[in-house]
Structure 1
C-alpha cells in the first residue's frame, strides 16, 4: 500500500506541537529556540508570515537545519506572498532535503494585510481554488520528495473546509473553540489531517489571563475571519466587542495553570484534531522557549 502524506504526518507529528511566531530576531535565536522545542519533546514547530519581512520558507529552512527529527510547518504560508509555482517549488525542495519533516499550511490571509502589501483583495474561495490549480500544474517542474508532504488549508468556514477536504490533505484552523474543531472534522471526514492551532495563556488568574488574551489581534483586526466565524457559531456584536466577552475569551484562549491548559488542548484532540499546536504569549524567542519547556511535562 502506498504511504500517503496524511499517513506520514500522523505517524510523525504526535499529539502536541508548538509555534514560534515572534517578530524579527537573529537567525541564531531561531536556531536555539527550535532546538530547545525539539529537545522538550514537541512533535512540530510552526511559523507564520504576512507579505514581506520574515519569509516562511527561508525561516523553515533555518530551523530544519538546526534540528534533527521535529516536523516544521508553515502556519501559514501566505498565498499572496508568492507565485503558486514558487510555493510548490519551495515546499518540494525543503521536503526533498528533509524527508518527512515538512508540512505545508497555506492561507488566504486577511483583506487588510493584503491591501497593505499593494495588492487587491479578491474572493478568498476563488483565489484559493485558482492558486491550488496553479500549484498542481507546477508539480512536474518541482523536485519529487521521497516522503510526501501534507498540503493543508487554513479553513475556518464550511466552504473553505470543503476546499481543504476536496483539494488538500486537510485543514489547519486556528484560535477557535473545540466545538469548531468538531465541526471541521465532520466536514473533512476521517481520512484528512486536522491540525488545530491554539493560543495558550499560562496565567491562572482569570482577570489577568483575559486581559492578556484581549491584546491578541485575531478578534480585533478589521474583517477578522475569526470574528466572522464566531458570528456564524451564534455569537453577536456584544460578544465580540472590545476584544471579546469573558465567554468568548474563555472559549478561544486556553488559559490557566499547566494542568488546565493540558485539559483544554485535549478537548481539541477529543473533538477530532489529529494534532494540536500550542502558541504561547511571549515577548521574544528565548521567553517562548522557556514557557514551552515549562509546559511540556503537562502537555506531552
Structure 2
C-alpha cells in the first residue's frame, strides 16, 4: 500500500502534472502560469533549480500562495544549493502551510554544474546518502506537518534507485525511455512513488521535432548522467553519440500531434509510473501554459 506520504501523494498528484522549467521570469508570470495550469485540470506543477538564481522553495511558495488546490513539487531541489537541515526545514515549512500540496524531489545534479558553482564534485551516491542522513537528523528541529510530504530522489541508475527505494518514498527519473520506467517499477516494488518526467514536443515533422530535442543538450553535457543510464538499457555508443540517434530521441522524447503525445505519456503510466510530469520547450511561461492548455484534453484522459 505504501506509507501515508505515498498514499496522500498518489491522491493529490493525480496521474498527470506539468513542469514549469523556464529559468527566470517575474513572479507575476509564475503566478499566472500556475493558475492557468490549475484551471486546466492538471494535478501538479513541478519546478527545477540550478545553484543560485531561482531558488526552488521561494519559487514554490510564490505559486502555492497563488493557487488553491494544485500540488507542487521540486524536480529537483539541488542538494548542492543548501545544507541538508535547510532542505528539511524549508520543505517542512511549506508542507505545514499547505497541507498535502508539496512533494520534495532531491537530486545531485551533475559534475559540470557543481564545479561551476565553486564546489568539488564527488561520488553522487555517497553524497546523496550522507545528505539524507543530515536531513533525517534535522527532522525533530523542523515543523511537523499534519500531512506528511513525500521525499523523492532523482535516480537514473540502479544504485541511486536502490537508495530511493530504501531511504525515500520513491524516485523521479527524467527523460528516459518507457523501458526505464518499467525496470524502475520492478526495482521499487508497488509501495513507492514513481514519477516520470517526460519532455514533449508538439511538432509533427520528424526532423524538426528531433532537432528541437537535440537542442536540449542532455546527451552532450560533459558527465551527463543520461549516458550511462542509456547504456544500461542497451543503447550503443553510436546511438548515444552526437546528441542521440533518432532511436534514442524517439525513446526519450514524446513528439507529434496531441494524440501521439498522449500515447507516449500513457505508455509510462502503463509501465508503472504513478504520475507523469510533462515538460515542453518554450521560451516563456505564457507559451508553456498555452501548450499545456492545448494538451490538457488529451493528456488528462491518458
Same structural fold, with TM-score higher than 0.5 when normalized by the shorter chain: yes
Match of 1:258 in 2: 258
Q: Deviations over 1:110-153 (max 9, x none)?
A: 00000000000010110000000010000000000000000000
Tell me the CA shift for residue 241 of structure 1: 1.6
Match of 1:41 in 2: 41
Q: Deviations over 1:84-134 (max 9, x none)?
A: 000000000000000000000000000000000000001011000000001
Match of 2:88 in 1: 88
Tell me the CA shift for residue 2 of structure 1: 10
- Maintained 8 Å contact 2:125/2:160: yes
Tell me the CA shift for residue 218 of structure 1: 1.3
Q: Does 1:150 align with 2:150?
A: yes
TM-score, normalised with respect to structure 1: 0.99
Match of 2:55 in 1: 55
Greater shift in the superposed pair: 235-244 or 205-214:
235-244
Tell me the CA shift for residue 242 of structure 1: 1.7
SS in 1 for 2:115: helix
Greater shift in the superposed pair: 61-70 or 235-244:
235-244
SS in 1 for 2:276: strand
Match of 2:172 in 1: 172
Q: Deviations over 1:196-247 (max 9, x none)?
A: 0000001111111111111012111111101121012111221112211111
TM-score, normalised with respect to structure 2: 0.98
Match of 2:27 in 1: 27
Match of 1:116 in 2: 116
Q: Deviations over 1:28-62 (max 9, x none)?
A: 00000000000000100000011101000000000
Match of 1:275 in 2: 275
Distance 1:201 1:2 in 2: 34
- Maintained 8 Å contact 2:3/2:191: no
Q: Deviations over 1:244-267 (max 9, x none)?
A: 111111000100100000000000
- Maintained 8 Å contact 2:2/2:192: no
Match of 2:295 in 1: 295
Distance 2:29 2:153 in 1: 29
Distance 2:129 2:211 in 1: 38
SS in 2 for 1:214: helix
Match of 1:193 in 2: 193
Distance 2:44 2:65 in 1: 14
Tell me the CA shift for residue 3 of structure 1: 6.5
Paired residues, number: 300
Distance 1:279 1:259 in 2: 16
Moved segments of 4+, more than 3 Å: none
SS in 1 for 2:279: strand
Tell me, which stretches of 5 or more residues in structure 1 are unaligned? none
Match of 1:162 in 2: 162
Match of 2:74 in 1: 74
Distance 2:243 2:120 in 1: 27
Q: Does 1:202 align with 2:175?
A: no
Match of 2:226 in 1: 226
Tell me the CA shift for residue 23 of structure 1: 1.7
Distance 2:212 2:57 in 1: 30
